[in-house]
Protein backbone atom coordinates (compact mmCIF):
# COMPACT_ATOMS: atom_id res chain seq x y z
CA UNK A 1 0.00 0.00 0.00
CA UNK A 2 2.80 2.40 0.88
CA UNK A 3 4.54 1.67 -2.42
CA UNK A 4 1.32 2.44 -4.34
CA UNK A 5 0.93 5.77 -2.53
CA UNK A 6 4.53 6.61 -3.33
CA UNK A 7 3.96 5.97 -7.05
CA UNK A 8 0.78 8.00 -6.95
CA UNK A 9 2.59 10.98 -5.50
CA UNK A 10 5.32 10.62 -8.13
CA UNK A 11 2.81 10.82 -10.93
CA UNK A 12 1.31 13.91 -9.33
CA UNK A 13 4.69 15.57 -9.84
CA UNK A 14 5.32 14.21 -13.34
CA UNK A 15 1.91 14.79 -14.92
CA UNK A 16 1.97 18.62 -14.74
CA UNK A 17 5.36 18.61 -16.45
CA UNK A 18 4.15 16.29 -19.22
CA UNK A 19 1.00 18.32 -19.63
CA UNK A 20 3.06 21.50 -19.94
CA UNK A 21 5.25 19.96 -22.61
CA UNK A 22 2.21 18.81 -24.55
CA UNK A 23 0.68 22.27 -24.41
CA UNK A 24 3.95 23.79 -25.50
CA UNK A 25 4.00 21.50 -28.54
CA UNK A 26 0.37 22.23 -29.40
CA UNK A 27 0.79 25.98 -29.26
CA UNK A 28 4.16 26.29 -30.95
CA UNK A 29 4.36 29.54 -32.87
CA UNK A 30 6.23 30.03 -36.10
CA UNK A 31 9.21 32.24 -35.13
CA UNK A 32 9.63 33.88 -38.52
CA UNK A 33 8.50 37.48 -39.22
CA UNK A 34 5.26 38.18 -41.07
CA UNK A 35 4.88 39.82 -44.47
CA UNK A 36 2.85 43.02 -45.00
CA UNK A 37 -0.80 42.76 -46.04
CA UNK A 38 -1.35 42.23 -49.76
CA UNK A 39 -1.82 45.31 -51.90
CA UNK A 40 -3.49 43.35 -54.67
CA UNK A 41 -1.54 45.12 -57.41
CA UNK A 42 1.94 43.59 -57.11
CA UNK A 43 3.49 42.79 -60.48
CA UNK A 44 6.77 40.90 -60.62
CA UNK A 45 6.76 39.07 -63.95
CA UNK A 46 5.06 40.33 -67.08
CA UNK A 47 6.90 38.50 -69.88
CA UNK A 48 6.35 34.78 -70.20
CA UNK A 49 9.43 32.63 -70.84
CA UNK A 50 9.17 29.27 -72.52
CA UNK A 51 9.81 26.20 -70.37
CA UNK A 52 10.46 22.49 -71.04
CA UNK A 53 7.11 20.79 -71.65
CA UNK A 54 5.53 23.83 -73.30
CA UNK A 55 3.83 23.29 -76.62
CA UNK A 56 4.87 25.89 -79.19
CA UNK A 57 3.26 26.59 -82.54
CA UNK A 58 5.77 27.72 -85.17
CA UNK A 59 4.22 29.64 -88.07
CA UNK A 60 6.51 30.44 -91.02
CA UNK A 61 4.87 32.89 -93.39
CA UNK A 62 4.33 31.47 -96.89
CA UNK A 63 5.93 28.18 -95.83
CA UNK A 64 3.17 25.88 -94.59
CA UNK A 65 5.37 22.80 -95.00
CA UNK A 66 7.73 24.18 -92.38
CA UNK A 67 5.07 25.51 -90.03
CA UNK A 68 4.31 23.06 -87.20
CA UNK A 69 3.56 22.54 -83.52
CA UNK A 70 6.17 20.92 -81.29
CA UNK A 71 6.82 20.34 -77.59
CA UNK A 72 9.94 21.71 -75.95
CA UNK A 73 12.01 18.77 -74.74
CA UNK A 74 13.10 18.30 -71.10
CA UNK A 75 16.57 19.54 -72.07
CA UNK A 76 15.06 22.84 -73.24
CA UNK A 77 15.62 22.20 -76.96
CA UNK A 78 13.16 21.73 -79.81
CA UNK A 79 13.28 19.96 -83.16
CA UNK A 80 11.09 20.85 -86.14
CA UNK A 81 11.26 20.65 -89.96
CA UNK A 82 14.64 22.09 -91.05
CA UNK A 83 15.45 22.71 -87.37
CA UNK A 84 17.45 20.49 -85.05
CA UNK A 85 18.21 20.98 -81.34
CA UNK A 86 17.34 24.66 -81.18
CA UNK A 87 17.49 26.15 -77.64
CA UNK A 88 13.99 27.29 -76.65
CA UNK A 89 13.73 27.26 -72.85
CA UNK A 90 14.02 30.62 -71.03
CA UNK A 91 13.32 32.57 -74.21
CA UNK A 92 10.26 34.72 -74.76
CA UNK A 93 8.14 33.74 -77.80
CA UNK A 94 9.54 36.75 -79.69
CA UNK A 95 13.13 35.82 -78.83
CA UNK A 96 12.55 32.28 -80.02
CA UNK A 97 10.95 33.51 -83.25
CA UNK A 98 14.03 35.61 -84.06
CA UNK A 99 16.30 32.65 -83.27
CA UNK A 100 14.28 30.39 -85.58
CA UNK A 101 14.43 32.97 -88.37
CA UNK A 102 18.22 32.91 -88.11
CA UNK A 103 18.28 29.11 -88.24
CA UNK A 104 15.85 28.93 -91.19
CA UNK A 105 17.67 31.58 -93.20
CA UNK A 106 20.10 28.84 -94.24
CA UNK A 107 17.30 27.17 -96.21
CA UNK A 108 14.71 29.91 -96.81
CA UNK A 109 14.96 33.45 -98.12
CA UNK A 110 14.02 36.07 -95.51
CA UNK A 111 11.87 33.76 -93.34
CA UNK A 112 9.27 35.46 -91.17
CA UNK A 113 8.44 33.42 -88.05
CA UNK A 114 5.74 33.79 -85.40
CA UNK A 115 5.78 31.63 -82.25
CA UNK A 116 2.61 30.95 -80.25
CA UNK A 117 2.87 29.16 -76.89
CA UNK A 118 0.18 26.69 -75.79
CA UNK A 119 -0.10 24.61 -72.62
CA UNK A 120 1.83 26.99 -70.38
CA UNK A 121 4.06 25.35 -67.76
CA UNK A 122 6.56 28.10 -67.01
CA UNK A 123 10.13 27.96 -65.78
CA UNK A 124 10.83 27.00 -62.17
CA UNK A 125 11.65 30.58 -61.30
CA UNK A 126 8.15 31.59 -62.43
CA UNK A 127 6.37 28.91 -60.39
CA UNK A 128 4.95 28.94 -56.86
CA UNK A 129 5.29 25.61 -55.05
CA UNK A 130 2.81 24.56 -52.37
CA UNK A 131 3.77 21.57 -50.20
CA UNK A 132 2.43 19.96 -47.03
CA UNK A 133 -1.17 20.01 -45.86
CA UNK A 134 -2.80 21.57 -48.92
CA UNK A 135 -5.72 19.65 -50.42
CA UNK A 136 -3.81 19.44 -53.72
CA UNK A 137 -0.09 20.26 -53.25
CA UNK A 138 1.32 21.42 -56.57
CA UNK A 139 3.43 23.93 -58.50
CA UNK A 140 1.49 26.89 -59.90
CA UNK A 141 2.50 29.33 -62.60
CA UNK A 142 2.74 32.83 -61.10
CA UNK A 143 0.28 35.40 -62.41
CA UNK A 144 0.48 39.15 -62.03
CA UNK A 145 -0.99 40.47 -58.77
CA UNK A 146 -1.27 36.93 -57.33
CA UNK A 147 -1.91 36.76 -53.58
CA UNK A 148 -1.82 33.95 -51.04
CA UNK A 149 -5.63 33.71 -51.19
CA UNK A 150 -5.42 33.04 -54.93
CA UNK A 151 -2.87 30.28 -54.27
CA UNK A 152 -4.95 28.60 -51.56
CA UNK A 153 -8.02 28.61 -53.81
CA UNK A 154 -5.95 27.06 -56.64
CA UNK A 155 -4.77 24.17 -54.42
CA UNK A 156 -8.27 23.45 -53.15
CA UNK A 157 -7.84 24.83 -49.62
CA UNK A 158 -6.30 23.05 -46.61
CA UNK A 159 -6.68 19.54 -45.24
CA UNK A 160 -8.40 18.92 -41.89
CA UNK A 161 -4.96 18.31 -40.36
CA UNK A 162 -3.34 21.57 -41.47
CA UNK A 163 -1.86 24.11 -39.07
CA UNK A 164 -2.42 27.03 -41.39
CA UNK A 165 -1.39 29.75 -38.96
CA UNK A 166 2.08 28.21 -38.62
CA UNK A 167 2.69 27.98 -42.35
CA UNK A 168 5.98 29.26 -43.73
CA UNK A 169 6.61 31.15 -46.95
CA UNK A 170 10.16 30.77 -48.30
CA UNK A 171 11.30 33.58 -50.63
CA UNK A 172 14.56 34.59 -52.26
CA UNK A 173 15.53 38.09 -51.15
CA UNK A 174 18.77 39.67 -52.39
CA UNK A 175 20.14 36.26 -53.33
CA UNK A 176 19.30 34.62 -49.98
CA UNK A 177 16.41 32.38 -48.99
CA UNK A 178 14.31 34.08 -46.28
CA UNK A 179 11.44 32.55 -44.28
CA UNK A 180 8.22 34.31 -43.24
CA UNK A 181 5.24 33.25 -41.18
CA UNK A 182 1.85 33.40 -42.90
CA UNK A 183 -1.57 32.98 -41.26
CA UNK A 184 -3.64 30.92 -43.65
CA UNK A 185 -6.25 29.88 -41.06
CA UNK A 186 -6.96 33.49 -40.14
CA UNK A 187 -7.34 34.33 -43.82
CA UNK A 188 -9.38 31.38 -45.08
CA UNK A 189 -11.35 30.22 -42.04
CA UNK A 190 -11.83 33.53 -40.22
CA UNK A 191 -11.94 35.87 -43.21
CA UNK A 192 -9.18 38.13 -41.90
CA UNK A 193 -8.15 39.90 -45.11
CA UNK A 194 -5.22 41.56 -43.32
CA UNK A 195 -3.60 38.10 -43.26
CA UNK A 196 -3.47 38.01 -47.06
CA UNK A 197 -0.02 38.63 -48.60
CA UNK A 198 1.36 39.24 -52.08
CA UNK A 199 3.10 36.30 -53.75
CA UNK A 200 6.23 36.43 -55.89
CA UNK A 201 7.55 34.11 -58.59
CA UNK A 202 9.64 31.35 -57.02
CA UNK A 203 7.88 31.43 -53.61
CA UNK A 204 7.56 28.16 -51.68
CA UNK A 205 4.58 27.79 -49.32
CA UNK A 206 5.05 25.10 -46.64
CA UNK A 207 1.93 24.11 -44.70
CA UNK A 208 2.66 21.96 -41.62
CA UNK A 209 0.46 19.38 -39.93
CA UNK A 210 -1.14 20.28 -36.60
CA UNK A 211 -0.11 18.26 -33.54
CA UNK A 212 -3.70 17.12 -33.02
Q: Write out pLDDT tens, residues 133-151.
A: 999 999 999 988 899 999 9
pLDDT tens for residues 151-189? 999 999 999 999 999 999 999 999 999 999 999 999 999
CA–CA gap between residue 209 and residue 122 (Å, rounded)? 29
CA angle 119, 122, 125 (to 5 degrees): 170
- Give the distance from CA 93 to its chain's centroid: 22
Architecture of domain 37-45+123-212: Roll (3.10)
pLDDT at 12: 47
What residue ranges of the chain are covered by domains with CATH 3.30.1950.10? Answer: 55-118
What residue ranges of the chain are covered by domains with CATH 3.10.560.10? Answer: 37-45+123-212
Residue 179 pairs in a beta bridge with 170
CA–CA gap between residue 178 and residue 30 (Å, rounded)? 14
Q: How many residues does the chain have?
A: 212
- Give the distance from CA 66 to its chain's centroid: 36
CA–CA gap between residue 176 and residue 139 (Å, rounded)? 21
Is the pLDDT assigned to residue 5 strictly greater than 70?
A: no
CA–CA gap between residue 56 and residue 84 (Å, rounded)? 15
Residue 58 class from Cβ within 10 Å (0-12 exposed, 13-18 middle, 19+ buried)? buried
**CATH of 55-118 among 3.40.50.10860, 3.20.190.10, 3.30.1950.10, 3.90.550.10:** 3.30.1950.10
pLDDT band at 212 (very low <50, low <70, confident <90, very high): low
Asked whether the beta carbons of 121 and 139 are under 8 A apart, the reply is no
Asked whether the beta carbons of 173 and 99 are under 8 A apart, the reply is no
Amino acid sequence: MQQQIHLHKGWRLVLPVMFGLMLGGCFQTNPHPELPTATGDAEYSTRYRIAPGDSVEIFVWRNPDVSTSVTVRPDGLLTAPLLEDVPAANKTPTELARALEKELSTYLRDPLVTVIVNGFIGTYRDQIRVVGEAAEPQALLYRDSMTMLDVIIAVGGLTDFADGNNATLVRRVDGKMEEYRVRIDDLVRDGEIAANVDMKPGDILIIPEAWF
